[in-house]
């Protein structure tokens, strides 16, 4: 293990500390380690009463520092695999209390920042406090400087990347916010790698940077990343890496959007704010294949990734000329395109690049615009409110609203707060079509197409999220042999979905902690493969069982974080549109996810009470009893 850097922007004091090996043995790294560090800050490692929430604070947000408060920490964390030769390990996590949801916030990004931070000598960096004037951090070769960022404040993420690399080192990697983060828009993203635009998009963590007046972190270094047994790692990686591209050739060829037609076919693509069942021609127009045939100029591989799902595109002429950099991936096409009924690939590409430049989460932004289009159709918003007509399929309206959200102007100021707050403000029936869980807008996968996704959205610690459970991948053809499965499960089945979702969440916690891309699952990597890499890198005896136990520990600590903030069974729900309204046509025309039938099995497997509170017996098995303190909802001793 290496070191952690703590930068207090109020006092301008920078300290370094050794990464705690005991914590790493329990929580691995990445967002798992982040959960331990953040929980310790807010609630104390001895549970209730030790942290900033203060002794005597019960469950609920009262007494807990706000997400945007100067004292609230923002962590960037690598994992043990990051910077090594392990395939797809060039990733890092960003964790903080989310300004969008108010609960546990984590976001994950590919690109070069994680490896650069590691090679600069640090496993992670924590930012607390608030600078008097805009600043950036320049982290290199074991050192960190706080530098003036006045020249780049107000500039977009692509411009900021170029300017700061010119000021520091061309080989440096920049994590930056755009105008959205500067204005503390709660759906602001943290963008990395300039025009290659790798995003820590979800949960609005760009706003946390903005509140601290931290424009960017720039990292570079050349230190060797420690590996306990390099020969064993080379051996473990060699065969896997060689066969990965062949096991999923489509991901490199046509990117994540190469699946959009198939996703539409099975009824998984949200269309017109989740109201329609099928949109075959629209999906074909937005497909990764169409992108390959038209605007694609190159493919982008994150460090050590043999798959290369990233797209580099250029639009040289026409209405959207000037686009030059990262192309939209599936989620961006699903939200800015299908949810808004826009089938013009170049227009959606333009809107996606605008999100990248302004530093906005494309998922939440697209979902908020689709929500607004429905509010406009139903008379809760007017042309005067929006500054334009918000008609389905109107690409110009989508682009206009992205700009308004990113600059916190006009109607965008309200939409940037997320659909939960926007619906509460608009009133009437608006909450009926605000599609979120715990305040996080649902991404472009429909729980009506996969019952397990319903359990996953309802219980994910950061709100509606397809990545925390990732169950739609095994239910569309990736057999999880590690779990003992030998075939693809019935996606509309009920029995077993609770347990399956919990297992996937635990495994994905490990991917998020070790720092491995989840798409590796589609190319032959199983959780036990990651355990073998972890064993080689850390020298610790990781195997499938110990790794899954660690995953369960991490998931439960994030849940405890949320329980401390008042989360319980009442919040483990799906939005009305996904729970009560059938799609009516397409590949999932008649299904509604039977959450009431699946959730008890999930809670039982997890060892949680019927109110969704982790019970002491399981917490003791996970080594979390001391963290939980006097958690409510426990049986009498």
Partner 1 sequence: MRIRVLLMTDEQGTPVKTDLELPDGATAHDAAKKLVAARGAGFGRMLWGDDGQWRVIVFVNRKDAAPETPLRDGDELAFLPPITGGAG
Task: Tell me how far apart the alpha carbons of residues 427 and 551 are, in angstroms, rounded to a whole number.
Answer: 40
DSSP line for 96-114:
EE-TTTSSEEEEEE-SSHH
Tell whether residue 236 is a contact of partner 1 (CB under 8 A): no
The HSE-up count of residue 565 (CA atoms within 13 Å, CB side) is 24
The CB-side HSE value for 470 (13 A sphere, CA atoms) comes to 25
Q: How many residues at the interface with partner 1, by CB under 8 A?
A: 59
Stretch that binds partner 1, among 49-57, 133-141, 256-264, 312-320 (CB under 8 A): 256-264
Q: If binding is defined by CB under 8 A, does position 206 make contact with partner 1?
A: no
Closer of 239 and 389 to partner 1 (Cβ): 239
Scanning the structure block, which residue is given the tokens 């939200």? Answer: 335
Nearer to partner 1, 164 or 309 (CB): 309
* Crossing angle between the packed helical segments 497-514 and 451-459, to the nearest 10 degrees: 60
Closest to 172 in 3D by CA, of 139, 126, 200: 139
DSSP 131: -
| Beta carbon nearer to partner 1, 198 or 213 | 198
Q: How far is the CB of 356 from partner 1 (least distance, A)?
A: 12
Which of 157, 522, 532, 562 is in the footprint of partner 1 by CB under 8 A? Answer: 522
Q: 201: which 2 tokens?
A: 């998009």
Cα torsion angle, 596, 602, 605, 606, sign: negative
Nearer to partner 1, 47 or 527 (CB): 527
Among 29, 32, 99, 110, binds partner 1 (CB under 8 A): 110
> Which residues make beta-bridge pairs with 135?
148, 214
363 lies in the site for partner 1, by CB under 8 A? yes
Distance, in Å, from the CA atom of 42 to the CA atom of 64, rounded to the nearest integer, reads 7
Find the binder of partner 1 among 161, 182, 329, 344 (CB under 8 A): 329
d(CA 92, CA 223): 17
User: Does the footprint of partner 1 cover residue 249 (CB under 8 A)?
Assistant: yes
Q: Which of 50, 262, 524, 607 binds partner 1 (CB under 8 A)?
A: 262
Interaction between residue 263 and partner 1 (CB under 8 A): yes
Counting contacts by CB under 8 A, is residue 362 touching partner 1?
yes
What is the footprint of partner 1 within residues 24-53 (CB under 8 A)?
Answer: none
Q: In sequence order, what E strands does 438-552 have?
A: 440-441
Among 18, 71, 148, 293, binds partner 1 (CB under 8 A): 293
Give the C-alpha separation, 8 to 5, whole Å.
10
Rule CB under 8 A: is residue 202 a binding residue for partner 1?
A: yes
Between residues 461 and 538, which has the closer beta carbon with respect to partner 1? 461
Query: CA–CA separation, 464 vs 93, rounded Å?
Result: 18
Q: Report, in Å, the least distance between residue 476 CB and partner 1.
A: 5
Of 140 and 202, nearer to partner 1 (C-beta) is 202
Query: Nearer to partner 1 by C-beta: 53 or 363?
Result: 363
Tell me how far, at minimum, the Cβ of 438 lies from partner 1, in Å: 18
Residue among 51 and 587 whose Cβ is closer to partner 1: 587
Contact between 32 and 511 (Cβ < 8 Å)? no
Is there binding between residue 200 and partner 1 (CB under 8 A)? Answer: yes
Q: How many helices (H) and strands (E) does the chain have?
A: 26, 17
Write out the H or E segment, with its range, that includes residue 570: none
Q: Does 261 bind partner 1 (CB under 8 A)?
A: yes
Least separation in angstroms between residue 249's CB and partner 1 is: 5
Does 331 participate in binding partner 1 (rule CB under 8 A)?
yes
Site for partner 1 in 436-475 (CB under 8 A): 443-445, 466-467, 472-473
Comparison of 26 and 161: residue with beta carbon closer to partner 1: 161
Provide, rounded to whole angstroms, the least separation between the CB of residue 54 and partner 1.
33
When asked if residue 107 is in the footprint of partner 1 (CB under 8 A), the reply is: yes
Supply the DSSP symbol for 88. T
Least distance between partner 1 and beta carbon 156 (Å): 20
Would you say 47 or 586 has its CB closer to partner 1? 586
Question: Quick one: CA dihedral 323, 325, 330, 336, positive or negative?
Answer: negative
Instruction: For residue 127, give the nearest of 81, 89, 181 by alpha carbon.
Output: 181
Structure tokens at 433: 């079509």
Least Cβ distance, residue 70 to partner 1 (angstroms): 26
Q: Is 196 in the site for partner 1 (CB under 8 A)?
A: no
The residue among 477 and 635 lying less far from partner 1, judged by its C-beta, is 477
Task: Give yes or no for residue 129 binding partner 1 (CB under 8 A).
Answer: no
* Selected range binding partner 1 among 136-144, 212-220, 324-332, 616-624, rule: CB under 8 A: 324-332
CA distance linking residue 50 with residue 629, whole number of Å: 10
Q: Residue 242 burial (CB < 10 Å; 0-12/13-18/19+)? A: exposed
Query: x/- string (CB under 8 A) for partner 1, residues 568-587?
Result: ------------------xx
Q: Which of the 8 DSSP states describes residue 614?
A: B
**Sole binder of partner 1 in the list 114, 186, 258, 593 (CB under 8 A):** 258
- CA distances to 225, 288, 503, 621 from 231, rounded to whole Å, are 14, 38, 31, 35
Alpha carbon of 404 to those of 74, 108, 408, 520, 628: distances in Å?
26, 26, 6, 36, 42
273 lines the binding site for partner 1 (CB under 8 A)? no
Residues linked to residue 220 through DSSP beta bridges, in sequence order:
140
Binding site for partner 1 (CB under 8 A): 107-110, 198-202, 248-251, 253-254, 256, 258-259, 261-263, 265-268, 278, 284, 287, 289-290, 292-293, 309, 329-332, 334, 362-363, 443-445, 466-467, 472-473, 476-478, 488, 490-492, 519, 522, 586-587, 589
């Amino acid at each position: 293990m290496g070191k952690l850097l703590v930068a207090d922007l109020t006092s301008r004091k920078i300290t370094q500390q050794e990464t705690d090996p005991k914590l790493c043995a329990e929580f691995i790294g990445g967002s798992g380690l982040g959960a331990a560090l953040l929980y310790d800050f807010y609630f104390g490692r001895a549970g209730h009463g030790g942290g900033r929430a203060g002794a005597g604070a019960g469950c609920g947000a009262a007494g807990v520092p706000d997400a945007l408060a100067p004292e609230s920490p923002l962590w960037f964390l690598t994992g043990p695999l990051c910077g090594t030769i392990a395939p797809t390990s060039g990733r890092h996590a960003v964790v903080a209390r989310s300004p969008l949801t108010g609960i546990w916030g984590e976001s994950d990004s590919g690109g070069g920042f994680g490896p650069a931070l590691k090679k600069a000598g640090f496993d992670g960096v924590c930012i607390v406090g608030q600078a008097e004037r805009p600043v950036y951090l320049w982290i290199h070769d074991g050192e960190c400087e706080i530098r003036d960022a006045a020249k780049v404040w107000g500039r977009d993420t692509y411009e900021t990347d170029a300017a700061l690399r010119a000021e520091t080192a061309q080989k440096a990697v920049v994590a930056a916010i755009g105008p959205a983060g500067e204005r503390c828009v709660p759906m602001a993203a943290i963008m990395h790698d300039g025009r290659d635009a790798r995003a820590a998009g979800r949960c609005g963590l760009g706003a946390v940077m903005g509140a601290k007046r931290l424009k960017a972190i720039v990292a570079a270094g050349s230190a060797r990343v420690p590996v306990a047994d390099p020969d064993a790692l080379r051996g473990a990686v060699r065969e896997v890496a060689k066969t990965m591209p062949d096991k999923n050739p489509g991901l490199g060829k046509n990117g994540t959007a190469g699946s959009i037609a198939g996703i539409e076919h099975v009824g998984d693509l949200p269309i017109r704010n989740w109201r329609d069942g099928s949109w075959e021609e629209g999906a074909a127009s937005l497909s990764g294949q169409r992108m390959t045939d038209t605007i694609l100029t190159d493919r982008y591989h994150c460090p050590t990734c043999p798959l290369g799902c990233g797209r580099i595109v250029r639009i040289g002429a026409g209405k959207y000329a000037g686009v030059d950099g990262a192309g939209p991936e599936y989620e961006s096409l699903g939200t800015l395109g299908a949810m808004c009924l826009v089938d013009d690939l170049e227009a959606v590409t333009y809107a996606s690049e605008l999100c990248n430049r302004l530093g906005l989460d494309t998922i939440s932004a697209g979902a908020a615009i689709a929500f607004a289009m429905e509010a406009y159709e139903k008379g809760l918003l007017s042309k005067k409110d929006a500054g334009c007509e918000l008609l389905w399929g109107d690409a110009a309206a989508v682009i206009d609203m992205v700009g308004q959200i990113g600059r916190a102007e006009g109607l965008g100021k309200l939409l940037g707060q997320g659909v939960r707050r926007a619906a509460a403000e608009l009133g009437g029936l608006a909450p009926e079509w605000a599609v979120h869980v715990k305040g996080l807008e649902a991404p472009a996968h429909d729980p009506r197409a996969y019952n397990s996704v319903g359990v996953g959205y309802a219980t994910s610690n950061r709100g509606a999220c397809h990545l925390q459970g990732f169950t739609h991948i095994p239910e569309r053809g990736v057999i999880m042999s590690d779990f003992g499965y030998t075939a693809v499960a019935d996606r509309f089945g009920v029995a077993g979905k609770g347990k399956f979702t919990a297992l996937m969440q635990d495994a994905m916690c490990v991917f998020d902690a070790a720092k491995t891309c989840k798409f590796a699952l589609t190319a032959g990597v199983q959780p036990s493969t990651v355990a073998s890499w972890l064993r080689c890198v850390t020298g610790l005896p990781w195997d499938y069982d110990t790794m899954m136990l660690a995953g369960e520990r991490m998931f439960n600590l994030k849940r405890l974080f949320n329980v401390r903030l008042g989360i319980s069974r009442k919040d483990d729900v799906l939005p009305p549109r996904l729970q009560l309204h059938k799609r009516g046509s397409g590949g999932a025309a008649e299904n509604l996810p039977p959450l009431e039938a699946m959730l008890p099995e999930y809670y039982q497997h997890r060892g949680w009470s019927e109110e969704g509170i982790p019970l002491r017996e399981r917490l003791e098995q996970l080594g979390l009893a001391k963290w939980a303190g006097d958690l409510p909802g426990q049986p009498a001793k």
